Structure 1
Amino acid sequence: MNEIGSYEQWNEIIEKEPQLLLFVKTDHCSVCEGLYPQVKALDDQFPFPFYQVNAARVPEIAGQLSLFTAPVVLLYHYGKEMARFARFVQMDQLTRRMQELVERGKEDA
């Protein structure tokens, strides 16, 4: 998973990537630490890039994306948020939405 270090870097990524997953965590978050390996394990199964950001280190991203808790998993399709999962993420629901994103990408091709 690629780490985002600034809000400017995020803006560049969201403009160039047709599809992506963003994992948002924060410091001292046990739920974040537990969920991260589960989400990271899906990276090999999907054709779009996975990114992570620590909202405590890049607070602008939390404000700009209206994030009020952590962890948050966001799925994007051509710069538009397609799905948001917050706090306690059901992995089967996340996987299903990721597969929908793959199918949507095939339709666009």
Structure 2
Amino acid sequence: MIRMRSLDEIEQVIESNQLVLFIIKTNHCGVCEAVSAKVSSMLESKPSVKGINVYMEDVPEIASRYLAFSAPTLLLFYAGKEVYRSARFIRFDELSHVLSQYESVI
């Protein structure tokens, strides 16, 4: 997963990649780090999915831009549009299924 440090950088990645999995997390959040590690290992077998993450402390406006009111918040973008959202409690079986469905479209 690639760490983003500005809103412009995030939006450029979302616009320039077909399938983007985006995690919004906070510092000192053990759940955020565990989710990020599990998602990173999941994406190793999915080369068509671009994985990015951002800390709310690095980009404070990210919470209002993407309506992320808890951490971690996981967003999936397909062709620049949000198609899946999961916050706080991530269901990895559901995420894997959704990713596979969108990968088959690409």
TM-score (norm 1): 0.90
Q: Which residue of 1 aligns with 2:15?
A: 15
Check whether the contact 1:31–1:88 (CA below 8 A) recurs between aligned residues: no
| Structure ranking higher in helix proportion | 1
> SS at the partner of 1:42?
helix
Q: Which residue of 2 aligns with 1:57?
A: 58
Q: What is the aligned-residue RMSD (CA, Å)?
A: 1.0
Q: Which residue of 2 aligns with 1:29?
A: 29
TM-superposed deviation, 1:52:
0.8
Identity %: 31
Aligned length: 105
TM-superposed deviation, 1:16:
0.9
Gaps of 5+ in 2: none
Q: Which is further off, 79-88 or 9-18? A: 9-18
For 2:54, the aligned partner's letter is: V
Q: Does 1:48 align with 2:49?
A: yes
Instruction: Tell me the distance in 1 between the aligned counterparts of 2:19 and 2:34.
Output: 25
Q: Which is further off, 63-72 or 28-37? A: 28-37
Gaps of 5+ in 1: none
